[in-house]
Amino acid sequence: MEHQNNLRPFAQVMVWITSFAAVALPVLTIMIWIYIKDLGVSSGTVSPQYDLTSLSLTARLLGFVICFIGAGIMTYGLLALRRTFQEAAAGRGLSLTAVVNFRRFALVTLITVFYGILQNTLLSIVFTMGRPGQETQLSIMLGTPEVKALFTALLFVFVAHIFAAGRKAEEENAQFL
């Protein structure tokens, strides 16, 4: 099909981008938590008030595990998306493999929204535990960034359903030919 041939170069570029992202995400997570003191990192999305350069080894390990789980979940989703792009690059944009893997990516994206909220909540505890003269704090954040992420994830889930319907229609058309 001509329309699939036009998508192949773009799909191949996306294979490379998702491959890079799937490797970079866990590697950067590891590097940030190993070199957190050298980087002078602030807590960013959780709260800029926390100075992460003075975290204990236990807090750094807990923070790493919490963040690495999130990176692992998203890496799994990126690898599924990569497989979808590989199928498109091979001219099989509506193959069962492409549809299943895009659906997997959409589901993982939805899961990461909720894990992101949990992650930020857990990190607020980690960043404040064991601080002399301060109590451990619990901060649950749900705001515009989380709502946007949820909307985007739901959009991906919707597109995955459309993708599956397109595959079904293609199969029905093939039966008539």
- Report pLDDT for 39: 66
The pTM for the full model equals 0.84
> Contact, 99 vs 80, CB < 8 A?
no
H-state helical runs in the chain: 2-34, 36-39, 57-89, 96-128, 144-176
Show the low-confidence residues of the chain (pLDDT under 50): 1-2, 43, 46
Closest by CA to 19, choosing from 80, 96, 100, is 80
- Report pLDDT for 155: 97
- Report pLDDT for 50: 61
CA 71/CA 148 separation, integer angstroms: 19
> Contact, 102 vs 157, CB < 8 A?
no
CA 124/CA 138 separation, integer angstroms: 6
| Residue 130 belongs to domain spanning | 2-176
pLDDT tens by residue, 125-165: 888 886 666 777 777 888 899 999 999 999 999 999 999 99
- Report pLDDT for 147: 95
* Residue that has been written with the tokens 């866990």 in this structure: 26
60-94 b/e with 16+ CB inside 10 Å = b? bebbbebbbebbebbbbbbbbbbbbbbbbbbeebb
Count of domains for the chain: 1
Count CA atoms closer than 13 A to 69's CA, side-chain side: 15
